[in-house]
A and B are shown apart, each in its own frame.
Chain A
Amino acid sequence: MAKTLYWIQGGGCGGDTWSLFNADTPDLTELFDFLGLELLWHQSLSARSPDDLDTLNADILQGRQPLDILCLEGSVIHGPKGSGKFDMLPGGPKKDLIRALADRARYVLAVGTCASFGGIGADSDTMASGLQFTKWAMGGLLGQGFISTGGYPVINMPGCPCHCEVVVGTLSAIAADMPVELGHYNTPVNWYSMMVHQGCTRNEYHEYRIEEKKFGERGCLFFYMGCHGPLVPGPCNKVLWNRRSSKTRVGVPCFGCTRPDFPQQYPFFETRNIEGIPIELPDGVSRAHYMAYKGMAAAAAPKRLIQRKTGI
């Protein structure tokens, strides 16, 4: 029997849906048939008449309609003062519907950083949270102990937006009844066990500490431009965006959008440092070793790199 999927949007920009439009094999028009999924509802993709949405919701909540996969895009809005009135449906706050649907779903997926951790609205007066986290802290809308009826906590797929391949891959695994192995912050290890830095075409600059100090100069963006590539997990430079490139490849620093504190409270486009060495070092590296390595690396830098004769 086809598994059913319900996609609901909370406080968000729709970017995760538009990101999903980038999917390739299968593309968005093929995805549901390909995986044998029945799309119960998505506000821009489902053919179901919206007049039937109330009926559908009632059927799910009363157990007449099985719900296999619930995807939330966007944050859960709690403001003002926990009332949820900043995001209302005709029947009440949207957060109440999200919770009720999550209680019925076999798998609950947080698509994007807002749904995972609160994201853009977490520090605003909207009091946004993720489904099972508020920034670094477990809890969120559903609470620390939440386990869906399929035996999983909320499966977090952060990124702003979430890369289409993460969504398609995770849905493919669930559709095929394959296990989804989760790592830190309950993210699927298949896409979040690597750093954004891995696969960046500027890696050679990083190796020899050839750092970009002004835009367009070409170099590694880690020491001065605020790049989070070596600090945060994500598949950007493995799977690439729109099949072509990534932010770091063209000279945009990684903003760490998969991390629970995105958007960070200190300035973007600059690196916090102690005597020229970044405060936050690549994940797991000791400062003493790193400083020694970087000193030697800079001394060993080849001229073609220093003179920017290498195309990237």
Chain B
Amino acid sequence: MGKIRKIIPMNRVEGDLEIQLDIQDGVVREAASIGTMYRGIENLMRGRSPMDSLVITPRICGICTTAHLSAAAKALDMACNAKVPDNGQRLRNITLMVEQLQNDIRHTFLLFMPDLIDSRYTNRPLYAEAFNRYQVLRGDTALQTVKETKKLLEIIAILGGQWPHSSFMVPGGVVSVPMASDIIHCRNILRNFRKWYEERILGGPLNDWRQIRSWNDLQAWLLQSPAHRDSDLGFFVRYGLDLGLDTLGGGHDTFISYGGPDLPGGSQAIPVEGNHLNSAAAVFTRGGVVPLDPDKISEDITCSYFQDEQPVRHPFQGQTIPCDADPDSGKYSWAKAPRYDGQPAETGALADMLVAGQPLFVEQVNAAGANVLIRELARLVRPINLLLAIDRWLAEMTECKSPFFEEYTKAVTARSYGLVPAPRGALGHWVTIENGVIANYQVITPTAWNASPKDGRGIRGPWEEAMVGTEIRNPDHPIEIEQIVRSFDPCLVCTVHAVKRI
């Protein structure tokens, strides 16, 4: 087979995406991640009141809306030197983590799993069962996911008014003051969801999973009982191995995580070894974990449709000036290329597990690097950490007499940032305030890290790198590419749709 170039448009929620592949002899030799839409939100922040960021930035993404709110509020906390009282912090954390919880489940069962019932796999022994579980809008697990995640989000409505798109976090805390009955209601909703997650997804109590520290433990656990084997997690591991997902989509193996949210004072650490909610922002490589230095974050626009005499900037100096580049300019994406210390970095649930030192994931990545299976597995078990933490914060909120908001003085001049663990990984907002209004606003989303185009040195972004070297069985239907990109949890859905272009 000769060399072919393909353009694959991929739809997702936070703007559209195409993947361009150069395939030779059935193997991907080069890949380009092309963001095809520009929404200009950073620029329309200029000249506005700093508080407007709490209303406008959540609208960047319809499924990470609370995460954007949280990053914007945190940046304003820093700008105004505002202190968030313990209960304000708890309410922020609970809502942020409920959003993450629904995302982990929805992404896995509504967006990722349908790839596994592709017609290519009809002859696999577990195909029929996978079809019954994950058929779009009809599979058992898919139906239950829609019902259960919808109920879970009621917690955010009770504490914050609505989901998606509320603005209940403000500098100095939150605006809402839930009554004890509201909190009890939230705990009941959470208990209901936990029961479903334990029975259906995990196949056993949350605490049992704490025993799994290695791949051998996981294999033993699968054999321990039919409940483990037939849970959605157990099924995914068995079917994923059969499909070879553990050999697909290795990347640079540099991971960035902003760790857990700020913990309220007086809150005990969450009692699970390797719980990412206890960890600080950090970068993981096979050489070890180093604490994150926010000054080392930059964005490179060499291959992005933006103009700048200085192609690499820290987000504080960042600017967003779209340009109409010709196709030979080397520019190919509306996404900028985020870099940490000059290197691309992968972010998401797996990064969270790695910086927290969760033994199973550290063992796997140290042994053979990341892959599609391990990324999804991390997303499937991250809810264990979240469920334990949310319940604890809810309980503490009733017991603690702390207020939810503390007054602060508005900032006239400031430079500040908010780094937040969003559902898809590391989310940062950087704001400059001059004369009491926003002078500059820059956002680096988790998907920007993962979907990054190449930089000035030609280094690929994480999922570009993960695609190169992949064997493509049918270039007209490159399901492998779909699985790789989706394992990073790109915003909403990626519809692989092959169009031949020269």
A interface, CB within 8 angstroms of B? 9, 11-19, 21-22, 24, 27-29, 32, 43-47, 50-51, 53-54, 77, 79-80, 85-90, 120-121, 123-126, 160-161, 214-216, 218, 236, 240-252, 255, 257, 263, 267-270, 311
Question: Are A124 and B7 closer than 8 Å at their CB atoms?
Answer: no
A218 adjacent to B177 (CB under 8 Å): yes
Contact A267 B51, beta carbon cutoff 8 Å: yes
In the complex, identify which listed stretch (B161-169, B260-268, B293-301) lies at the interface while the others stay far away: B161-169
A53 and B165 CA atoms in complex are apart in Å by: 31
Within B133-164, the residues touching A (CB, 8 Å) are 135-138, 142-143, 146-147, 149-150, 153-154, 156-164
- Residue on B with the closest CB to A32? B137
Cα(A44)–Cα(B154), bound, Å = 23
Q: Which residue of A lies closest to B18 (CB)?
A: A90
Q: Is the Cβ of A268 less than 8 Å from the Cβ of B162?
A: no
13 contacts between A and B (CB under 8 A): A15-B165, A44-B11, A50-B497, A53-B495, A54-B499, A77-B38, A87-B38, A88-B37, A120-B41, A120-B59, A250-B160, A263-B52, A269-B51
Tell me the smallest distance from the CB of A40 to a CB of chain B, in Å. 14
The answer to whether the Cβ of B420 comes within 8 Å of any Cβ in the partner chain is: no
Given the known inter-chain contacts A27-B147, A50-B496, A268-B51, please indicate yes or no for A18 contacting B159, CB distance below 8 A.
no
Q: Is the CB of B496 within 8 A of A160?
A: no
- B500 to chain A minimum Cβ distance, whole angstroms, is 10
CA distance in complex: A269, B193 (Å): 34
Q: Would you call B161 and A126 a contact (CB within 8 A)? A: no
Q: Is the CB of B495 within 8 A of A50?
A: yes
Q: Per a CB cutoff under 8 Å, which of B9, B136, B161 touches A246?
A: B161
- Interchain CB contact under 8 A, A216 and B404: yes
* Nearest chain B CB to A55 CB, angstrom units: 11
In the complex, residue of chain A having the shortest beta-carbon distance to the beta carbon of B156: A242
- What is the chain B residue whose CB lies nearest that of A13? B62
Whether B122 sits at the interface, judged by CB under 8 Å, is no
Q: Please measure, in the bound complex, the distance between the C-alpha atom of A90 and the C-alpha atom of B49, giving whole angstroms.
A: 38
> B175 touching A252 by the CB < 8 A rule?
yes
A43 near B492 (CB under 8 angstroms)?
Answer: yes
Q: Does B63 make an interface contact (CB < 8 A)? A: yes
CB closest residue in chain B, given A266: B49
Partner of A9, one of B11, B51, B407: B11
B501 within 8 A of A: yes
Report chain B residues within 8 Å CB of A28.
Answer: 137, 146
Would you call B172 and A215 a contact (CB within 8 A)?
yes
Q: Are B39 and A124 in contact (CB under 8 A)?
A: yes
Given contacts A43-B492, A245-B157, 9 further A-B contacts (CB under 8 A): A11-B39, A29-B138, A44-B493, A86-B334, A87-B36, A87-B37, A89-B9, A252-B175, A269-B55
B433 located at the interface, meaning its Cβ lies under 8 Å from any Cβ of chain A in the complex: no
* Bound: A218/B178 CA distance, A: 11
Whether the pair A47, B497 counts as a contact (CB closer than 8 A) is no
Please give the distance in Å from B6's CB to the nearest CB on chain A.
11
A216-B405 CB under 8 A given contacts A11-B37, A28-B137: yes
Provide the residues of chain B in CB contact with A245, threshold 8 Å: 157-158, 161-162
Q: Is B175 a contact of A18 with CB atoms below 8 Å? A: no
Interface string of B49-67 (1 = CB under 8 A from A): 1011011100111110100
**B403 lies within 8 A of chain A by Cβ:** yes
B30 interface residue, CB < 8 Å from A?
Answer: no
Inter-chain contacts of B146 with A (CB < 8 A): 21, 27-29
Q: How far is the CA of A38 from the CA of B393 in the complex (A)?
A: 44
Contacts of B62 in A (CB 8 A): 12-19, 161
Q: A13-B61, A88-B36, A124-B44 are in contact. Are A250 and B55 (CB under 8 A)?
A: no
Minimum distance in angstroms from B43 CB to a CB of chain A: 6
Provide the residues of chain A in CB contact with B39, threshold 8 Å: 11, 77, 86, 120-121, 124, 126
Instruction: Judge whether A244 and B157 touch: CB under 8 Å.
Output: yes
What A residues does B324 contact at CB under 8 A? Answer: 80, 85
Chain A residue at smallest Cβ distance from B36: A88
User: In the complex the two chains form, what is the Cα distance from A50 to B499 in whole Å?
Assistant: 11
Please tell me if the beta carbons of B168 and A250 are within 8 angstroms of each other in the complex.
yes
| Contact partners of B162 in chain A: CB under 8 A | 236, 241-242, 245-247
With contact pairs A18-B164, A120-B56 given, residues A80 and B322 touching in the complex (Cβ less than 8 Å):
yes
In the complex, what distance in Å separates the CA atom of A247 from the CA atom of B49? 20
Asked if B21 lies at the interface with its beta carbon under 8 angstroms from chain A, I say no
* Given known contacts A50-B495, A90-B18, A120-B39, A244 and B154 CB-to-CB distance under 8 angstroms: yes
Q: How far is the CA of A89 from the CA of B170 in the complex (A)?
A: 38
Q: Determine the chain A residues whose CB is within 8 A of the CB of B161 once the complex forms.
A: 241, 245-252
Q: Across the interface, do B37 and A86 meet the contact criterion of CB distance under 8 Å?
A: yes
A243, closest chain B residue (CB): B154
B368 at interface by CB-CB < 8 Å: no
| Minimum C-beta distance from B178 to chain A (A) | 8
Closest 3 A/B residue pairs (Cβ)? A15-B62, A14-B13, A241-B162
